Amino acid sequence: MLIYFLDMFGTAIFAASGVLMAGRLRMDPFGVVVLASVTAIGGGTIRDMALGATPVFWIHDTNYLWVIFITCIITMLATQRPRRMPRYFLPVADAIGLAVFVAIGVEKSLRYGASPLVAVIMGVITGCGGGVIRDVLGREVPMIFRTEVYATACIIGGVVHTLSLSLGVLPSMAAIMGIITTLSIRLAAIRWNLSLPTFALRN
């Protein structure tokens, strides 16, 4: 139940980030809902389609859709009356949702018979896929392609998760270890502005 609650929390946070981008692009309400939806459930949808998981998770559990719709309404209303919010709130909340999404992606992939390597990749897709779609639709370079430590945190968290399972750790504990790893790296990157070196061709 804790993981499920955190999954819904992450869905709401990712949806809110989609609403905020839609607001910057001056989209109509339909565009707001679409951008929020692809951000919140896009990664998990790609994962389920790749794994052949039917039906896709949000078709089986429509609570995800309700969370997205309610988040859209609340976020749009809240932005009409802006209040001073701590600047670290959204990045930290995003980091929590990201860590949980990665763990869920890894766990579901392994449940469908995927190898540990594929499970890690699916974890990264679950955590980052929606954000990539959001940024592409918003005509921005996706965050995972920038120097910011984002996808790297997902990869390391997924490796810790799968490696813990191979060492005989209980699945629930392995998932928690993966979540803590992803979250810790992401929070450290936010706190100290950590980034990866860039690749650039010399003229």
Mean pLDDT, 10 residues at a time, the chain of 203 residues? 87 93 93 96 97 94 97 91 75 92 96 97 97 92 83 97 97 95 96 85 75
Nearest to 187 by CA among 161, 147, 156, 150: 150
Look at residue 202 in the predicted model and tell me its pLDDT: 77
Residues 15, 21, 24: CA angle, nearest 5 degrees: 145
Determine contact, residues 70/40, Cβ cutoff 8 Å.
Answer: no
Rounded CA gap, 170 and 178, in Å? 12
Q: What does the buried/exposed string (b/e) look like for 118-145 if buried means 16 or more CB atoms within 10 Å of the residue's CB?
A: bbbbbbbbbbbbbbbbbbebbeeebebe
Rounded CA gap, 149 and 122, in Å? 18
- Two tokens at 29? 């309400």
Look at residue 82 in the predicted model and tell me its pLDDT: 63
Domain map (residue ranges) of the chain: 2-192
- With residue 202 as reference, give the H or E element that holds it: none
Look at residue 147 in the predicted model and tell me its pLDDT: 67
Rounded CA gap, 169 and 75, in Å? 40
List beta partners, residue 148: 195
Identify residue 10 by its one-letter amino acid code: G
Rounded CA gap, 143 and 131, in Å? 8
Instruction: Please indicate, yes or no, whether the overall pTM of this predicted structure exceeds 0.75.
Output: yes
Determine contact, residues 22/31, Cβ cutoff 8 Å.
Answer: yes
Look at residue 133 in the predicted model and tell me its pLDDT: 95
- What is the separation, in whole angstroms, between the first and last Cα of the chain? 55
Give the Å distances, CA to CA, from 117 to 18, 106, 163: 29, 10, 10
Look at residue 105 in the predicted model and tell me its pLDDT: 97
Rounded CA gap, 138 and 18, in Å? 9
Rounded CA gap, 59 and 48, in Å? 11
